[in-house]
Amino acid sequence: MKIKLTSDSTCDLSPELLKKYDIDILPLYVSLGEETKKDGVEATPDDIYKYVDKTGKLPKTSTANISDIIEFFENYRNEGYTVIHFSISSDFSSSYHNACIAAEEVDGVFVVDSRNLSTGQGLVVLHAADLVLEGKTAEEIKAECDALTPKVEASFVVDSIDYLHKGGRCSAVAALGANLLKLKPCIEVIDGKMTPSKKYRGKIDKVIIDYVCDRLRGRDDIVKNRIFITHTKCNQETVDAVRNKINELYPGFNEILETTAGCTITSHCGPNTLGILFIRK
């Protein structure tokens, strides 16, 4: 059985990882005013920043329509592949719902709701890639990935809540208070939904290290195969400091993978957002 792994573009896997594991991407769409572009193909995070700076508004994101997804799946089926497709959490988008409808029209397609976003979703996709190499069947891979999704720990610390405010995720009063107090909120993905947790205070470089310490210190329940550092336009020095802190607090990861977040996370969180994402035992 030939298996093709696909994912919508919110998985934020780097081109190098996509090539290494032969994973193909179904782009979501980003609407910048009157222009609608394919995420990661025709639109980049820099386009998001420019649009927000120019208009003061956030772009809108949308999933591919069902007919486009059917065509996407059929291309692989015509080549003899069984398809396993991964989507952003069904609580964030209709991407999963549309993919399921498309899969009803195309046999040999399995759809996994990652219950996550960004490289939280990417971790599930890469776990599937590991299982493909082990020779597991499509049915076995889907079952194991469905069981894995609650064990993915995804969180981000946000430098400014201006983007969250523009997106309607916090009130003007809350945004003003947070900016005056220089608060940097941590956002966690819990049960498929984004949930605010601890609020940090101070300069973002220090806050990010404090956040990493809070996520890793004293833990013994983390799977050490891989951990992601995923960020939006952070300084490389900050990312390197995070890598060093991970090695200090929780040494022994097989891979510490750095990726830049795509248009979806950028639209929600803005620049200088950083998260570490991993799997619990």
Quick one: pLDDT at residue 187? 87
Which of the four pLDDT bands, split at 50, 70 and 90, describes residue 170?
very low
Collapsing DSSP to helix, strand or coil, 13 comes out as coil
Mean pLDDT of 106-130: 97
CATH for 64: 3.40.50.10170
Which residue carries 């097989």 as its tokens? 254
Does the structure show a pLDDT above 80 at 9?
Answer: yes
Spatial CA neighbour of 92 closest among 173, 167, 175: 167
Do 73 and 167 reside in the same domain of the chain? no
What stretches of 140-272 adopt beta strand conformation (E)? 152-157, 183-190, 193-201, 226-232, 255-260
Half-sphere exposure of 235 (CA within 13 A, CB side): 8
Helix (H, G, I), strand (E, B) or coil at 45: helix
Rounded CA-CA distance 255/197 in Å is 27
Domain final residue, candidates 116, 149, 182: 149
CATH of the domain at 242: 3.30.1180.10
Half-sphere exposure of 230 (CA within 13 A, CB side): 31
Of 144, 87, 153, 150, the closest CA to residue 120 belongs to 153
Confidence of residue 78 (pLDDT cuts 50, 70, 90): very high
Q: Is the same domain home to 169 and 143?
A: no
Q: pLDDT higher for 167 or 25?
A: 25
Residue 178 has pLDDT above 60, yes or no: no
Same domain, 142 and 212: no
**How many CB atoms sit inside 10 A of residue 211's CB?**
23
Q: Are residues 145 and 29 in the same domain?
A: yes
Residue 247, pLDDT score: 97
User: What percentage of the chain has pLDDT greater than the value 70?
Assistant: 92
198 vs 227, higher pLDDT: 227
CA distances from 65 to 7, 39, 58, 99, 101 (A): 15, 14, 22, 9, 10
Q: Residues 246, 271: one domain?
A: yes
Does residue 176 have a pLDDT over 50? no
For residue 59, pLDDT over 90 is answered with: no
Could you say which of 149, 183, 202 is where a domain stops?
149
DSSP 8-state assignment for residue 39: B
Same domain, 160 and 142: no
The pair of structure tokens assigned to 106 is: 């195309």
Indicate the pairing of strand 81-87 with strand 109-113: parallel
Same domain, 73 and 127: yes
pLDDT at 278 > cutoff 60: yes
12 and 111 belong to one structural domain? yes
Q: Which domain holds residue 37?
A: 2-149
> Which residues, 6 or more positions from 31, have their beta carbon under 8 angstroms from its beta carbon?
37, 59, 60, 61, 62
Q: Residue 56 has what pLDDT?
A: 84
Task: Report the domain count for the chain.
Answer: 2
Task: Please tell me whether residues 160 and 103 are part of one structural domain.
Answer: no
Residues in a beta bridge with 246: none
Domain final position from 84, 114, 149: 149
216 and 190 in a common domain: yes
Please tell me whether residues 23 and 122 are part of one structural domain. yes
Can you give the pLDDT at residue 168? Answer: 45
pLDDT at 230 over 50: yes
At 222, is the pLDDT very low, low, confident or very high (cuts 50, 70, 90)? Answer: very high
Tokens at 153, concatenated? 């720990």
The answer to whether residues 14 and 29 belong to one domain is: yes
Token pair in block for residue 126: 């890469």
| Token couple for 212 | 């990493």
Percent of the chain whose predicted confidence (pLDDT) is above 90: 76
